[in-house]
C-alpha cells in the first residue's frame, strides 16, 4: 500500500479503529441474532419448508436466552408469524423486508463495540457484497437489505469500500482475526487490492491488530473458502479446526495444512494458540452427486447455547463432545442441518449476532474465561479418546 492510499484510508471520516471500536468475540454477551426466513427455491430445491423447520428448531434454542430478529419477505410475513406462533416461540421480532435469500452473515451488518461491558457503544459496518465473486446474479438483490432495515440495524452505520462477507472471518475479540487466502485474496472479490491493502482495511474497519491467514477451505464450498466452515475461535487463544481423517479425501491436505499453521501461530498478544480438532462429517451429496459443504465448524454461539450443525453420521456425537468441552458456560445443542446444507451453508452462515450494549457479566472480562477454561480429558492439539 502506498502512502497516498493510507491517507485516503484514514481520510476526513474517522475509521472505527480511530474511534476506539473493535469487533467483539461471538461468545461475548449478545442482544439478539438476525435470521432471514427462507424463501428461495433455487437455494433449497424442494426443501424450503424443511429449511423453515430447521429455522424454527434454531429459534427454539436461541430465544430462551435472547431475542431473534427475523427478516421476512412481505409476502410471507403472515405465514412466518403463524409458524412461529404454532411452534410456541416467543421473543421474535419480525421485520418485513424485500429480499432474495437468507445468508445475512455475508450481506448483513457486522457489529463493533467499544467501552466497558456494563455500558458498551455499538457501531455497524457495511462491506460490499457481490454474491461470492458474482456467482449468483439474482442474489445481488440482497445488497439492499441493510438499507431497507434502516434504523432497525440498531446502530450507526459506516460503509466500507471493500467486498467482504462475514463468514470469511472469525475473531477472538482481543485483536486477532482468522481468515483464508483462498477467499480474501481471490481476484473475484477485490482485484485491485493486495494482501497489505486488505489487512489495512481489516485493522481500520474491524479494529484488528493481527490477521492469521489460513490456506484453502473445504470441498463443495461455493464461497471460496469461508473460514467459518473450517476454523473458529471459542475462547482467547483457543481455536477449533476441522480435520479430515481420510488421507485420500480432497479435504485432508488443506485442512491438515491449516491445523499445522494454527499450531505454529500466536494471537495479537503473542500467546501461542491451542488447537482442538473437530472431525469432518462423511460427505453429504445433493441429488446430482455434488459434494455439499457440510461442517460441524459452522456453529453459532449464542448467550445460552451453541448451535452445532449435525448431518446424521458418527461424527455428530464426537464433534458435540469435543465442542462441549470448550464451552463450560453454555450447552452445545445439536441442530440437524442436512436440509440447510443443500443451500451451501449451515446455521452460522444464516445468522448474524448483535452484541449487547448493556449487561452484567458473572465472570468479568474475557480473560477470566481463559483463566477458568479447562479442556478436560484431551490434548488440545488432538483428542485421543472419545
Cβ pair 26, 66 in contact under 8 A: no
Sequential DSSP letters for 105-173: HHHS-EEEEES-TTS-EEEEEEEE--HHHHT-GGGGGGGGHHHHHGGGG-S-EEEEEEE--GGG-EE-S
| Weakest-pLDDT range from 70-79, 113-122, 135-144, 301-310 | 113-122
Q: Is residue 329 part of a domain?
A: yes
| Weakest-pLDDT range from 100-104, 115-119, 370-374 | 370-374
Read off the pLDDT band of 1 (50, 70, 90): very low
- The span from the CA of 78 to the CA of 88, in Å, is 15
H/E element, 284 = strand 284-285
Q: Is residue 82 part of a domain?
A: yes
- The span from the CA of 203 to the CA of 283, in Å, is 36
Q: Is residue 335 part of a domain?
A: yes
C-alpha cell at 98: 424485500
* For residues 237-249, average pLDDT: 98
Read off the pLDDT band of 360 (50, 70, 90): low
Q: Is residue 244 part of a domain?
A: yes
pLDDT tens column, 288-320: 999 999 999 999 999 999 999 999 999 999 999
* For residues 312-335, average pLDDT: 97
Q: Above 50 in pLDDT, residue 145?
A: yes
Q: Is residue 11 part of a domain?
A: no
Instruction: Provide the Cα torsion 345, 51, 84, 34; round to 10°.
Output: 10
Q: Is residue 355 part of a domain?
A: yes
Read off the pLDDT band of 102 (50, 70, 90): very high
Q: The domain spanning residue 266 has which CATH number? A: 3.75.10.10
Task: Note down the domain range covering 318.
Answer: 18-372
pLDDT tens column, 346-355: 999 999 999 9
Q: Please provide the average confidence, as pLDDT, over all residues in the chain.
A: 91
Backbone angles phi, psi at 296, to 5 degrees: -70, -15
Q: Is residue 268 part of a domain?
A: yes
Sequential DSSP letters for 345-380: --TTTTEEEEE-SS---SS-SHHHHHHH---TTSBT
**Overall domain count for the chain:** 1
Q: Above 60 in pLDDT, residue 154?
A: yes
Read off the pLDDT band of 375 (50, 70, 90): very low
At residue 249, the pLDDT reads 98
Query: 249: how many CB neighbours lie within 10 A of its CB?
Result: 14
- Cα 43 to chain centroid distance, Å, stands at 19
- Cα 280 to chain centroid distance, Å, stands at 18
| Residue whose C-alpha cell is 485493522 | 203
Q: Is residue 86 part of a domain?
A: yes
| Residue whose C-alpha cell is 452460522 | 348
For 168-186, give one letter per residue: b (16+ CB within 10 A) or e: bbbbbbbbbbbbbebbbbb
- pTM: predicted TM-score of the whole model, two decimal places: 0.91
Q: Above 90 in pLDDT, residue 244?
A: yes
- The span from the CA of 262 to the CA of 265, in Å, is 5
- The span from the CA of 19 to the CA of 330, in Å, is 33
Active-site residue list: 349
Amino acid at each position: 500500500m502506498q502512502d497516498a492510499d493510507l491517507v485516503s484510508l484514514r481520510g476526513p471520516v474517522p475509521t472505527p479503529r480511530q474511534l476506539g471500536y473493535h469487533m467483539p468475540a461471538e461468545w461475548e454477551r449478545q442482544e439478539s441474532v438476525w435470521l432471514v426466513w427462507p424463501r428461495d427455491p433455487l437455494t433449497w430445491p424442494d426443501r424450503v419448508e424443511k429449511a423453515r423447520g430447521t429455522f424454527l428448531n434454531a429459534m427454539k434454542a436461541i430465544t430462551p436466552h435472547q431475542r431473534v430478529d427475523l427478516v421476512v419477505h412481505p409476502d410471507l410475513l403472515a405465514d412466518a408469524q403463524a409458524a412461529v406462533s404454532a411452534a410456541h416461540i416467543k421473543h421474535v421480532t419480525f421485520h418485513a423486508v424485500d429480499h432474495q435469500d437468507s445468508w445475512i452473515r455475508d450481506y448483513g451488518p457486522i457489529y463493533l463495540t467499544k467501552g466497558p461491558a456494563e455500558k458498551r457503544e455499538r457501531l455497524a459496518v457495511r462491506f460490499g457484497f457481490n454474491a461470492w465473486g458474482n456467482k449468483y446474479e439474482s442474489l445481488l438483490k440482497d445488497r439492499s437489505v441493510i438499507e431497507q432495515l434502516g434504523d432497525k440495524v440498531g446502530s450507526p452505520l459506516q460503509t466500507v469500500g471493500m467486498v467482504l462477507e462475514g463468514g470469511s472471518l472469525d475473531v477472538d475479540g482481543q485483536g486477532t482475526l482468522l481468515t483464508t487466502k483462498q477467499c480474501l485474496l481471490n481476484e473475484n472479490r477485490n482485484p485491485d487490492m493486495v494482501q497489505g491493502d486488505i489487512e489495512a482495511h481489516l485493522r481500520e474497519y474491524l479494529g484488528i491488530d493481527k490477521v492469521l491467514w489460513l490456506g484453502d477451505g473445504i470441498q463443495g464450498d461455493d464461497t471460496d473458502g469461508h473460514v467459518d466452515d473450517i476454523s473458529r475461535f471459542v475462547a482467547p487463544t483457543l481455536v477449533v479446526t476441522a480435520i479430515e481423517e481420510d488421507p485420500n479425501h480432497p479435504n485432508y491436505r488443506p485442512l491438515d495444512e491449516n491445523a499445522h499453521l494454527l499450531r505454529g501461530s500466536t494471537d495479537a498478544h503473542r500467546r501461542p494458540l491451542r488447537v482442538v480438532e473437530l472431525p469432518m462429517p462423511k460427505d453429504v451429496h445433493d441429488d446430482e452427486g455434488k459434494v455439499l459443504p457440510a461442517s460441524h465448524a459452522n456453529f453459532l454461539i449464542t448467550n445460552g447455547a451453541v448451535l452445532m450443525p449435525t448431518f446424521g453420521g458418527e461424527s455428530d456425537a464426537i464433534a458435540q463432545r469435543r465442542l462441549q468441552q470448550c464451552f463450560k458456560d453454555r450447552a452445545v445443542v445439536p441442530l440437524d442441518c442436512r436440509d440447510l446444507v443443500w443451500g451451501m451453508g449451515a446455521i452460522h452462515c444464516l445468522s448474524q449476532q448483535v452484541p449487547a450494549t448493556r449487561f452484567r457479566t458473572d465472570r468479568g472480562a474475557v480473560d477470566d474465561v481463559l483463566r477458568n477454561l479447562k479442556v478436560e480429558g484431551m490434548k488440545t492439539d488432538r483428542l485421543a479418546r472419545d
